[in-house]
Chain A
Amino acid sequence: MAMPLLFALGGVLLIVGLPLWFAVGDGAAAAAPFVTAEIRLGYAGYVVPDVWMPATAVLRSDRNLEGVLEVAAPHPRSSRAARVRAEVHLEASVPRAVTIPAVIRDLRAPIVLRLIEAGRPVAEWRAAVPPGRVVDAIILTLSDRPVGLDRLLPTESRVRIAYVGPDSLPVRFQLYEGVQAVVVHTLDDRRVTPTQLEALSGWVAAGGHLILVVPPGSDLLTRASLRAFLQRDPRAPAPPAAPARVHPWGRGAVTVVPIDPFRPDLSPEGAAVWRRVLSRETPAPLVERTLLDALPQSGGASALVQLLIVLTLGGYLVALRPLTAWSQRGRGGVVLSLALLGAVTAAAVALAAVARTQMTTLIQGAVAEGLPQRDLARVEALGRVVLPQGGTFALRTSGETLVRPLGEADTSLRLGGAVELDGRAAATLSVQGSALISLPVQGSIHVQGEEVTVEIRNRAGRSLRDPVVVHNGRIQPIAVVGAEARVTLAPEAWRDPPPLEVARGVRARLLAWTFGRLRAGAIIDPTIDVTAFLVAWLEEERGVLRWRGPPAPLLLVVPLIGRGDSP
């Protein structure tokens, strides 16, 4: 009965030992109460879900601290969370405000802020969105009389006025995502940083609406920070907003309203003007989620690697005969068999490594949308990361880029660094990245009867490849464009763009999708005289989602400003 006793002893060892082994090493870091934080979510407490919102923590520490502040926003349907991290440097007893972008997707679960020092969490706070503070959009208002604008919004509206100080203006254009308009009534230039102005300018250029309240006697337009917004000739909007003037600014607009909406005795006419101004719709973005559907579904290992894997498996099947035969020949035979098994295993390890490198793929569609009259382009990238379960994937990003997951995934974005995706949830993760880049490429179109002439000014220092002009939903390739080019298009050379259904490969599908969007007039803004677009590939890789694989193609879409008569 020695064997059952041996098993019983082994069982006791397993039962007692293994749980102990698994239990070891789960010690959680205890929070140390030497640092306090005052947490603010959104703008004046208002939060727009599913878009970038600021999460601000005013930190105060008893001692100097260098670490990382992490904001973890949970996903509503899973235990996954999107984390954004920023480095923080705290001096003893000096309060420091740190704003981190976060996408709040689960309104019932609190956002978790963690202060991490030397890789170890030292403090943790939770902040929830208060009831009644979830809105569809926010109108940021800078005024020394923070009352009165609310009455101009329709009663059924889920848009709310957030009265904020200049300190609360975002330093990243993406943080305006939930903002419908910015109303400036009073402004102290000294309290606005160049970074905030740059973010505001970028947002307006990308389609935002800046409203300046300039009643008679106001000196608001003398502010240096606002004068730059009034360069182009204003246009008078249609009545009843007639007294207001609209200055085009990229795809957006700067509206100067000579009526003070904060006055208690605001006239009905004045209120009508303001209602009209506040109701301006934000132009639809060129790149939206349908691009994700247009991208190929997967990358995958090359045919050669797949063939090698199948051949190795076939070879292994053949090797089973010698493997079993040698095993009968004593110790030497067993060693030989083990060596053969080791060789097959080594081949599998090598093939698995190669295959995983190839299969861990980023399929990215990146479009840079040139902003009219601004030497800027808004880059939106939608990507599908195909990675093995349990694997991780790191994307490099530039400082101005924000990346977020579009599905359930554990992500960790280090501001100005990289994004790490954890593949526990799924093999395919969708991500979105956005950034503004400097891109001085502008163009115009002159239509005279059937004769169409296009002028392109490219001061970006990068050549445009395979340029195509899109006009009235039809396309015509043009010759390679230099720094300054004037091209007359042949009337008989216009053709219909290829449909998305027949396009194969990332480039072809991205191009077909873009033609489809432009044909629908999706990004034509009524305030801008855009009738055509130049579509070309940028030679240099500037996709905002980068990884160690081959560079992502970046498609440039430049609006061509109309000059002269259109047919």
Chain B
Amino acid sequence: MTLPLNPVTRGDLRSRLASPKVLWVLRLYVAALGVLAVFSLPPEGGRVPAFAETELAQLFLLFQLGWVAYLTSALAAGEIGVEGEKGVLDLAVTSFSSQTIASGKLWTAVLSAGGLVLLSVPLVILVTPALAAAPGVLRALAVMVPLAAPLAVVAAWLPAAVPSDVLRTVVHWSIFLALFAATRWLPEPWILVNPMRIVAAAYGGAPAAWPLALGPYLAAAALGWILIDRAVRAWRRESRL
């Protein structure tokens, strides 16, 4: 019995779960978060005045967001190559429709981000300050998926648009930095589109309008879907000529 998944997604996930490289990536991810979790526990936090003023649980969540967003998009862009995983152009030669391919890459991104978030749950529990803070932590974890997945969908389209590995990596990192760093200089209230701001707002519950900031990310996911769909169609059109 198999899970009713998009065939592209199923193939991607099977390749990733079987990959020794991905296993080491996951170990690195869990180890990095684990070290931070251990050192976030009081009383270490109270020893350093700067840390005492910082919400360490929030710091952990922001650190985790960086990992989830990068790993999801790097796997999609092929920056972390996975044996057997097919890119958009590899799939274009198959009989799958362009929409199935686009949807498959989208689901792969969503499930990969969700899986990374799920793997962090035992570690997040260690840094969750108290039961009262649990809703905020859950909101922050949940919001990481819609923040990381759109970036990964666009990243999945990059191999079709940028053939050069080096250039693709540059473009991928540029998008990543633009999203995480450049948005920090946006004026209020636009600064809220910064993913770290969104996670912090989801964790703290303020400003209450933070869900509005997810709009551009949903639009980015839709854009990524369209780009993949068009890239496959264009490639097939060109192949027929």
Chain A residues near B (Cβ < 8 Å): 1-4, 7-8, 10-11, 14-15, 17-19, 22-23, 297-301, 306, 309-310, 312-313, 316-317, 320-321, 324-325, 327-328, 330-332, 334, 341, 344-345, 347-349, 351-352, 355-356, 359-361, 386-392, 423, 425-428
Q: Is the CB of B225 within 8 A of A18?
A: no
Residues 1-53 of B at the A interface (beta carbon under 8 Å)? 1-3, 13-14, 17-18, 22-23, 26-27, 30-31, 34, 37-38, 41-43, 45-47, 51-53
**Contacts A4-B222, A330-B3; A298 near B47 (Cβ below 8 A):** yes
Contact bitstring B44-71, A, C-beta under 8 A = 1, else 0:
0111000111011100000000000000
Q: Which residues of A contact B81 (CB under 8 A)?
A: none
Report the bound CA distance from A8 to B52 in whole Å.
41
Q: Tell me the dominant secondary structure on chain A's binding face.
A: helix
Q: Is the CB of B122 within 8 A of A3?
A: no
Q: Are A328 and B14 in contact (CB under 8 A)?
A: yes
**CB-based contact A389/B43 at 8 Å:** no
Which of A8, A324, A390 touches B23 (beta carbons < 8 Å)?
A324
CB distance from B54 to the nearest CB of A (A): 9
Instruction: For residue B178, give the distance in angstroms from its CB to the closest CB of chain A.
Output: 21
State whether A427 and B103 are in contact (beta carbons under 8 Å apart), knowing that A4-B222, A310-B38, A390-B132 are contacts in the complex: no
Q: How many A-B residue pairs lie within 8 Å, measured between CB atoms?
A: 164
For A332, the chain B residues whose CB sits under 8 A away are: 1
- Contact string, B204-233, partner A, CB cutoff 8 A, digits 1/0? 010011011011001101100110000000
- List the B side residues contacting A3 at CB < 8 Å: 99, 102-103, 106, 222, 225
Closest to B51 in A: A427
Contact A297 B47 (CB under 8 A): yes
- If A3-B225, A316-B122 touch, whether A386 touches B42 (CB-CB below 8 Å) is yes
Contact residues in A for B121 (Cβ distance below 8 Å): 341, 345, 348
Taking a contact as CB atoms under 8 Å apart, the answer to whether A428 and B52 are in contact is: yes
Residues of B within 8 A of A428 (CB): 42-43, 46, 52
The reply to whether A388 and B52 form a contact with Cβ atoms under 8 Å apart is no
**Cβ contacts under 8 Å, A352 to chain B:** 125-126, 128
Interchain nearest-CB distance for B106 vs A (Å):
6
- Cα-based distance from A344 to B121 in the complex (angstroms): 9
Residues of chain A within 8 A (CB-CB) of B128 are 352
Asked if A328 and B18 make an inter-chain contact with CB atoms under 8 angstroms apart, the answer reads yes
Report A-chain residues with C-beta under 8 Å of the C-beta of B57: 389-390
**Please, could you name 6 A-B residue pairs with CB atoms under 8 Å apart, sorted by A?**
A3-B103, A14-B214, A14-B215, A19-B208, A317-B30, A321-B23
**Contacting residues, chain B, for A341 (C-beta < 8 A):** 118-119, 121-122
Chain B, Cβ-Cβ closest to A391: B130
Structural contact, B126 and A7, CB atoms closer than 8 A: no
Contact between A330 and B1, CB atoms less than 8 A apart = yes
* A331→B3 contact, CB < 8 A: yes
Q: A309 to B123, alpha carbons, bound, how many Å?
A: 10
Residues of B within 8 A of A19 (CB): 208-209, 211-212
Tell me whether A300 and B205 are in contact in the complex, defined as CB-CB below 8 angstroms, given that A3-B103, A320-B27, A330-B1 are known contacts: no
**B interface residue numbers (CB < 8 A to A):** 1-3, 13-14, 17-18, 22-23, 26-27, 30-31, 34, 37-38, 41-43, 45-47, 51-53, 55-57, 99, 102-103, 106, 118-119, 121-123, 125-126, 128-130, 132-133, 205, 208-209, 211-212, 214-215, 218-219, 221-222, 225-226
User: Out of B31, B129, B221, which one reaches A7, CB within 8 Å?
Assistant: B221
| In the complex with contacts A18-B211, A386-B42, A4-B225 CB distance below 8 A | yes
Known: A19-B208, A352-B126. A298 touches B119 (CB 8 A): no
Whether A349 contacts B125 in the complex (CB less than 8 A), given A3-B103, A11-B214, A317-B27, comes out as yes
Once the chains bind, are B45 and A389 in contact (CB under 8 Å)?
yes
Instruction: Give chain B residues whose Cβ lies under 8 Å from the Cβ of A10.
Output: 218
A-B pairs, top 6 by smallest CB distance, nearest first, are A298-B43, A18-B211, A390-B129, A428-B46, A427-B46, A348-B122
Neighbouring B residues of A2 by C-beta, 8 Å: 99
B residues within 8 A CB of A15? 211-212, 214-215
A388, closest chain B residue (CB): B129
B205 near A22 (CB under 8 angstroms)?
yes
Q: How far is the CA of A23 from the CA of B209 in the complex (A)?
A: 9
**Least CB separation from A9: chain B residue:** B218
Closest to A323 in B: B119
Among B22, B211, B225, the one with the most A-chain Cβ atoms within 10 Å of its Cβ is B211
In the complex, A317 Cα to B24 Cα: how many Å? 10
For the complex, give the distance between the alpha carbons of A345 and B123 in Å.
8
